[in-house]
Amino acid sequence: MKVIQTLQLHAVRRLWLAQVLAGVGDEFYALAVVCLATTSLGYQAGYLLALQSLITLLSTLTSNLLTQGKDCRILMMISDGCRVLVMLGLAICLLQGDASAPPLFLLVLAMMVMAYIRPVFDPSLQMALPRLSVDSAQLSSINALFDIMRRLARVLGPGLGALLFPLLHLSLFFLLTGLTYLVSLCTLGLLRKALAPVAAVSAPADAAPCPLSGCLATALRGFILLRRDPRYYFHLLAFGICSGWWYLALFVSTALLLKQPEYLRSGITLGSVIAVYGAGNVLANLLVAEMRIVRPWQWMSAGRLVMATGFLCMAMGQDHYSLYLGAFVAAVGAPVTQLPMANHLQSRYRGDDVAAIFRVRLFFEWGGSLLAMLASPWLLQQWQPSGVIQAAGISYAIVGVLGWCVIHDLPAGRRTAWVPYES
């Protein structure tokens, strides 16, 4: 398999293993923050988690001012270094003070720093991956491999974290989390040659000039680059819409649905549903990596239609088998949607442009998640958990049909050159 062959490359293997470990650390941190927030604030913890989403959203709009022109490897190392310091600070605070929870202001500060760093690290990783490939086919396999990394961490992290969290002193738990980021930092330091910067690519001859200049143009760089290609904008907006529904359907609504008597008797747990979803993700990644994607827009739309089928199966089924089947089908659609976007983005754009456009995607995704969290109490009260999952399936279906029938026929337009507009 292409993914297995790609993993045999020394630099790819080292970076992948380090990022799997760092991804598990992300899940450890998320688990600890939720536990600490609910301990400190009780039912008001949702406001703290909403603040975290808001900071990430703001970072997608402002971090480009700090990162433009910087080497992506250095940016990832700085991000990992900040994460290590945050985890170390929390651990020291717990050792010297209350062992059950750090002061609220320190927890809020740590959450703000960690939330701001994510739109710095993730786009930088997207910039780095093309440097590890020699052609488009290998780049597709590398993208699939690192998408598997993220999904493996989501499957392994919560289980390991739930096992270790009651056994370890909270300060040791944060030190363990910081150690995962330290491994990532050291690995990036050792990959200096493999991730060396490449020569800048000049703007294409058909490029359109940028209408803005200065800090505003830098902050909005990703939006400006895409302004002449409505297909990109549609699919990035679709990521935002679907991200909110995905969170509500797969996590919140499913967790509430499992508390109903017919599911309680079956012994099914949210962890088992997420595990089935993760297995479907990994299987679909392996399959998509073997395929040659010629029409990425249709692939993305088809993936959303597959996810719609899975969510509708979850909503309309009457037993735990329907939940498992629906979760697996929905999981298959996720890589079919996301990998073509990553491949097309990294093939069409270069360097800082990749990071800027990836931040646009994060802007829509976190914006959709924030709106979903704010609207979730009303939606669940009005529609009940099964109704919310069904609404998620219908939303995925509408977006998928629009993308398949309409959006892919729109003209691509000209790329936007990154030069200030001169009157």
How many angstroms separate the CA atoms of 165 and 288, rounded?
36
Residues 6 or more apart whose Cβ sits within 8 Å of residue 107? 33, 36, 37, 40, 48, 90, 101
Give the pair of three-digit tokens for residue 348.
Answer: 């069409």
CB 255 within 8 A of CB 270: yes
How many angstroms separate the CA atoms of 420 and 43, rounded?
49
pLDDT of residue 218: 66
Instruction: Compute CA distances 199 → 71, 169, 209, 350, 416, whole Å.
Output: 12, 48, 22, 10, 19
How many angstroms separate the CA atoms of 85 and 83, rounded?
5
How many angstroms separate the CA atoms of 355 and 121, rounded?
10
Instruction: Compute CA distances 242 → 52, 327, 345, 399, whole Å.
Output: 20, 15, 19, 8
The helices-and-strands tally (H runs, E runs) of the chain is: 16, 0
* Burial (Cβ within 10 Å: 0-12, 13-18, ≥19) of residue 49: buried
pLDDT of residue 368: 87
Concatenated DSSP letters of 366-377: HHHHHHHHHHHH
The pLDDT tens digits along the chain (423 residues) read 677 788 888 888 899 999 989 988 888 887 777 777 766 766 566 677 778 888 988 888 888 888 878 888 999 999 999 999 999 998 888 887 665 667 778 888 888 999 999 889 988 888 888 888 877 777 888 888 888 888 788 777 767 776 777 777 778 888 988 999 999 999 999 998 888 876 544 444 444 455 545 566 666 777 777 776 777 888 888 888 898 899 888 877 887 887 777 666 666 766 678 778 888 888 888 888 777 777 888 889 999 999 999 999 998 877 778 888 999 999 999 889 888 888 888 777 777 788 888 888 888 888 888 888 788 888 888 888 889 999 999 999 999 998 888 765 554 444 433 333 332
Domains, the chain: 1-197 (1.20.1250.20), 210-423 (1.20.1250.20)
Task: Answer positive or negative: Cα dihedral of 13, 153, 2, 232.
Answer: negative
Concatenated DSSP letters of 332-361: HHHHHHHHHHHHHHHHH--THHHHHHHHHH
pLDDT of residue 205: 40
